[in-house]
Amino acid sequence: MTGFGHNTSPSVDLSSYRDQHFKGSRAEQERLLRNTTTIYVGNLSFYTTEEQIYELFSKCGDVKRIVMGLDKYKKTPCGFCFVEYYLREDGENCMRYINGTRLDDRIVRTDWDAGFVEGRQYGRGKSGGQVRDEYRTDYDGGRGGYGKLMQQKVGGPVQDIAVFRS
Amino acid sequence: MSRRRPHDDDDGYERAHRKRRRVSENQEIEDRLESLILRVGEKSTASLESNLEGLASVLEADLASFKAKILRILTECAIKMPEKCTIYTTLVGLLNAKNYNFGGEFVEHMVKNFKDSLKTCRWNAARYSLRFLADLVNCHVIAATSLITLLDLMVDVAKEEGVPNVRKDWFVYSVLSALPWVGRELYEKKESQLEMLLVKIEVFLNKRSKKHHTALRVWSQDTPHPQEEYLDCLWAQVRKLRQDNWVEKHIPRPYLAFDSILCEALQHNLPTILPPPHDPNYEYPMPWVVFRMFDYTDCPEGPILPGAHSIERFLIEEHLHQILEVNHLERKDCASALLNFPYKSKIPLDYSIVEIIFAELFHMPTPRYLEICYGSILIELCKLQPSTMPQVLAQATEILFMRIDTMNVTCFDRFVAWFSYHLSNFQFRWSWDDWDFCLQLDLEHPRPKFVKEVLQKALRLSYFQRIKEIMPEIYEPLLPSKPEPDYKYTHDNAASLPGTTAAHSLVVAVRQKCSPEEVLNVLQDLPNPRQEADADGEGGFNPLKIDVFVQTLLNLGSKSFSHSFAAIGKFHFVFKTLAESEEAQICILRNLFSLWQNHQQMICVLIDKMLKLQIIECSAVANWIFSREMQSEFTKTYIWEVLHLTIKKMNKHVTRLQRELSDARDKMRRHDSDSESEDDRKRRREDHDDKDKPTEEVVERMEEKLEAAQADQKNLFLIIFQRFIMILSEHLVRCDTDNKDFNTFWYKWTIGRLQQVFLTHHEQVQKYSSTLETLLFTQDLDSHIMDVFHQFTSLKA
**Residues B147-172 pLDDT 10s:** 999 999 999 999 999 999 999 999 99
Q: Which residues of B touch A11 (CB under 8 A)?
A: 329-331
Q: Which helix (H) or strand (E) holds B530?
A: none
Higher pLDDT, A132 or A164: A132
B670 band by pLDDT with thresholds 50, 70 and 90:
confident
Contact B376 A101 (CB under 8 A): yes
pLDDT given for residue A6 in this prediction:
44
User: Is the bond into B224 cis (omega within 30 degrees of 0)?
Assistant: yes
As a whole number of angstroms, the distance between CA B468 and CA B473 comes to 8
Residue A65's alpha-carbon distances to A37, A105, B49, B383, in angstroms, are 11, 23, 57, 32
Using alpha carbons, select from A133, A160, A137 the residue that is nearest to residue A43.
A133
**Which B residues 326-345 touch A at CB under 8 Å?**
326-327, 329-331, 333
Residue B755: how many CB atoms within 10 A of its CB? 23
Is a pLDDT exceeding 90 seen at residue B209? Answer: no
As a whole number of angstroms, the distance between CA B27 and CA B323 comes to 30
pLDDT given for residue B243 in this prediction:
96
Kindly state the average pLDDT of the residues B571-587: 96
Lowest mean pLDDT segment, chosen from B122-126, B368-372, B533-537: B533-537
As a whole number of angstroms, the distance between CA B34 and CA B18 comes to 24
pLDDT given for residue B126 in this prediction:
97
B74 Cα distance to chain centroid: 31
Domain ranges of chain A: 10-124
pLDDT given for residue B210 in this prediction:
85
CB B635 within 8 Å of CB B746 = yes
As a whole number of angstroms, the distance between CA A94 and CA A86 comes to 13
Contact A101 B462 (CB under 8 A): no
As a whole number of angstroms, the distance between CA B60 and CA B64 comes to 8
As a whole number of angstroms, the distance between CA B546 and CA B591 comes to 8
* CB contact B465 to A (< 8 Å): no
Is a pLDDT exceeding 80 seen at residue B539? Answer: no
Is a pLDDT exceeding 90 seen at residue B529? Answer: no
Q: Which residues of A touch B34 (CB under 8 A)?
A: 3, 5
Buried b (16+ CB within 10 A) or exposed e, B529-561: eeeeeeeeeeebbbbbbbbbbbbbbbbbbbebb
Mutation target to probe the A interface, by most A beta carbons within 10 A, among B453, B460, B609 is B460
B537 band by pLDDT with thresholds 50, 70 and 90:
low
In sequence order, the 6+-apart residues with CB closer than 8 A to the CB of B707 are none
* CB contact A56 to B (< 8 Å): yes
Out of A5, A55, A65, closest to residue B461 by CB: A55
Using alpha carbons, select from A151, A48, A51, A60 the residue that is nearest to residue A105.
A48
Residue B781's alpha-carbon distances to B354, B724, B787, in angstroms, are 41, 12, 10
Is a pLDDT exceeding 80 seen at residue A90? Answer: yes
Using alpha carbons, select from B641, B631, B567, B566 the residue that is nearest to residue B603.
B641
pLDDT given for residue B211 in this prediction:
82
User: Can B26-263 and B307-478 be said to share one CATH topology?
Assistant: yes
Residue A112 φ then ψ, to 5°: -70, 145
B684 band by pLDDT with thresholds 50, 70 and 90:
low
Closest-CA distance of chain B to residue A10, Å: 8
Kindly state the average pLDDT of the residues B653-657: 95
Residue B112's alpha-carbon distances to A70, B109, B120, B126, B556, in angstroms, are 60, 5, 12, 11, 67
Out of B1, B376, B565, closest to residue A5 by CB: B1
B301 band by pLDDT with thresholds 50, 70 and 90:
confident
What is the residue type of B28?
E
pLDDT given for residue B677 in this prediction:
63
B531 band by pLDDT with thresholds 50, 70 and 90:
low
What SS3 class is residue B572? helix
Out of A10, A52, A96, closest to residue B461 by CB: A52
Q: Which residues of A touch B460 (CB under 8 A)?
A: 51-52, 55
Kindly state the average pLDDT of the residues B559-575: 96
As a whole number of angstroms, the distance between CA A62 and CA A65 comes to 9
Domain ranges of chain B: 26-263, 307-478, 500-528+540-616, 650-670+694-794
Cβ-based burial of B437 (10 A; exposed 0-12, middle 13-18, buried ≥19) = exposed
Mutation target to probe the B interface, by most B beta carbons within 10 A, among A97, A102, A103, A104 is A97
pLDDT given for residue B9 in this prediction:
46
pLDDT given for residue B4 in this prediction:
46
Give the chain A residue whose CA is nearest to the CA of B418: A59
User: Is the bond into B342 cis (omega within 30 degrees of 0)?
Assistant: no
Q: Which fold has domain A10-124?
A: Alpha-Beta Plaits (3.30.70)
Quote the radius of gyration of chain A (alpha carbons, Å): 19
Contact B561 A1 (CB under 8 A): no
Is a pLDDT exceeding 80 seen at residue B685? Answer: no
Report, at the CATH architecture level, how domain B500-528+540-616 is classified: Alpha Horseshoe (1.25)
- Residues forming beta bridges with residue A145, ordered by sequence position: A140
B669 Cα distance to chain centroid: 35
Is a pLDDT exceeding 80 seen at residue B367? Answer: yes
Q: In the CATH scheme, what is the code of domain B26-263? A: 1.25.40.180
Give the chain B residue whose CA is nearest to the CA of A4: B80
* CB contact B425 to A (< 8 Å): yes
Closest-CA distance of chain B to residue A11, Å: 7
Q: Convert B314-376 into a string of H (helix), E (strand) and C (coil).
A: HHHHHHHHHHHHHHCCCHHHHHHHHHCCCCHHHCCHHHHHHHHHHHHHCCCCCCCCCHHHHHH
- Residues forming beta bridges with residue A110, ordered by sequence position: A41
Residue B784's alpha-carbon distances to A88, B754, B765, B775, B779, in angstroms, are 43, 11, 20, 18, 11
As a whole number of angstroms, the distance between CA B745 and CA B731 comes to 12
* CB contact B463 to A (< 8 Å): yes
Higher pLDDT, B349 or B670: B349
Higher pLDDT, B671 or B591: B591
As a whole number of angstroms, the distance between CA B751 and CA B787 comes to 11
Closest-CA distance of chain B to residue A56, Å: 7
pLDDT given for residue B1 in this prediction:
44
Kindly state the average pLDDT of the residues B311-329: 94
Kindly state the average pLDDT of the residues B717-727: 97
As a whole number of angstroms, the distance between CA B663 and CA B698 comes to 12
Q: Which residues of A touch B605 (CB under 8 A)?
A: 54
B404-B407-B410-B414 Cα dihedral, nearest 10 degrees: -40
Is a pLDDT exceeding 70 seen at residue B524? Answer: yes
Residue B162: how many CB atoms within 10 A of its CB? 5
B671 band by pLDDT with thresholds 50, 70 and 90:
confident
The mean of the pLDDT values for chain B is 92
Using alpha carbons, select from B220, B218, B222, B213 the residue that is nearest to residue B748.
B220
**Residues B212-241 pLDDT 10s:** 888 899 999 998 899 999 999 999 999 999
In sequence order, the 6+-apart residues with CB closer than 8 A to the CB of B523 are B502, B506, B542, B545, B548, B549, B578
B538 band by pLDDT with thresholds 50, 70 and 90:
low
B44 band by pLDDT with thresholds 50, 70 and 90:
confident
B28 band by pLDDT with thresholds 50, 70 and 90:
confident
As a whole number of angstroms, the distance between CA B765 and CA B672 comes to 35
CB B538 within 8 Å of CB B579 = no
As a whole number of angstroms, the distance between CA B331 and CA B318 comes to 19
Kindly state the average pLDDT of the residues B189-195: 95
Question: What is the percent of chain B with per-residue pLDDT over 90, rounded to a whole number?
Answer: 81
**Which B residues 46-75 touch A at CB under 8 Å?**
none
CA atoms within 13 A of residue A82's CA, in its CB half-sphere: 21
Contact A11 B331 (CB under 8 A): yes
Out of B34, B330, B370, closest to residue A9 by CB: B330
Lowest mean pLDDT segment, chosen from B527-531, B564-568, B698-702: B527-531
Is a pLDDT exceeding 90 seen at residue B265? Answer: yes
Pick the CATH number of B650-670+694-794 from 2.40.30.30, 3.40.630.10, 3.40.1360.10, 1.25.40.180: 1.25.40.180
Q: Which helix (H) or strand (E) holds B787?
A: helix B783-793
As a whole number of angstroms, the distance between CA B412 and CA B35 comes to 45
CB B29 within 8 Å of CB B69 = no
A-B CB pairs within 8 A amount to 84
What SS3 class is residue A79? strand
* CB contact A86 to B (< 8 Å): no
User: What are the strands, taking DSSP E only, across B35-165?
Assistant: none
Task: State ipTM.
Answer: 0.92
- Residues forming beta bridges with residue A112, ordered by sequence position: A39
**Residues A21-44 pLDDT 10s:** 999 999 999 999 999 999 999 999
As a whole number of angstroms, the distance between CA B181 and CA A103 comes to 47
Q: Which fold has domain B307-478?
A: 1.25.40
Could you give the angle at the alpha carbon of B697 between the alpha carbons of B691 and B700, nearest 5°? 110
